[in-house]
Amino acid sequence: MSRIYRSKAPLRLGLAGGGTDVPPYSDLYGGAVLNATINMYAYATIIPRTDGKIIFKSLDNGQNLEYDSTDKLEIDGELDILKGIYNRIVKDYTKEPLSFELSTIVDAPPGSGLGTSSTLVVTILGAFAEWLRLPFGEYDMARLAYEIERIDLQMAGGKQDQYAATFGGVNFMEFFNGDKVVVNPLRIRSEYLDELAHNLVLFNTETSRLSSEIIARQSKNIEDKDPASLDASHKLKMQSMMMKDALLRGELDKIGEILDYGWHHKKLLAPGISNPMIDELYQTAIENGASGGKISGAGGGGFIIFYCPNNTRHQVIEAISKFGVAHPYEFTATGLKTWSI
């Protein structure tokens, strides 16, 4: 029986600074975000084959593709992430075609705002690294994932998700002018994290959105030096520093107002980040005890987080239940894991 190579990497909650990791803002002004990984994952399994075939199985959407082994697969709109990773692995590392079966599954749907596509890239790279014994460090892995997704496949988006999935935990990330990224793991006391998880409700609107369209509009606004969008981005970068200080100091009563501050500025980045349903959902949560919140990811749908201080979480969840469903989660301390059996 063939050896099986597996990997998993966690999805993330963006707590502050989201949008400042997106070029050209991050390249021109430098960005900063604060995020935390949760116990929802992307999984990948590779089983080597000897029959000269490449088989892709996306288990969550039921899509199966089969190809003859080749050194480059056509990017044609079908499971392009899997193909793009394979193409880069062959081009840069093996220098010859491979034969294998690759299966993937993710705990949240595309468009959820939890970093699913980038986390999937990291997970698949991890499985290949486990199989081929590729000597990737954490920064190497995250950078390669970013290049495949944003450069090779031309998928619009930011830089934080690849690093969150690779490193795991609660991280304050800085994106300097150019390509430099520094991940600063935060040592937050366990009681602060437990209280944050208790008070921070993760809510699924059960809608999805195409983040690339929102991100493209956001990037264009920065290129055009739109005053409102540019000022909002500067404020969001400041928000990430406010969030870092509050978490490290245990000033959890400030979390809601910091989220609310960021949400009002995030909506100014580009059209489509909010909509009437999201505005009504947000207002309902605030009226029932939440002190702040934000949409996860680029906006337009997917998951939303609300900070519900004291014992208001149950009242908030009940009040907003007509808009979707609260999703249980826990914070995780580790990022990408790979193994074989």
Name the residues annotated as catalytic. Answer: 161
Instruction: Please report the beta strands in the chain, taking only residues with DSSP state E, as ranges in sequence order.
Output: 5-16, 31-48, 53-58, 63-68, 100-106, 170-175, 181-185, 200-204, 292-295, 303-307, 325-326, 337-340
- The structure tokens listed for 260 are 């609310």
Q: Which residues contact 21 (CB under 8 A, 6 or more apart)?
A: 31, 33, 158, 159, 160, 173, 175
Q: Which residues contact 179 (CB under 8 A, 6 or more apart)?
A: none
Cα–Cα dist 122/324, whole Å: 29
Q: Which 3 state secondary structure label does DSSP give 326?
A: strand
The answer to whether the CB of 276 falls within 8 A of the CB of 161 is no
Cα–Cα dist 289/304, whole Å: 16
Cα–Cα dist 313/307, whole Å: 8
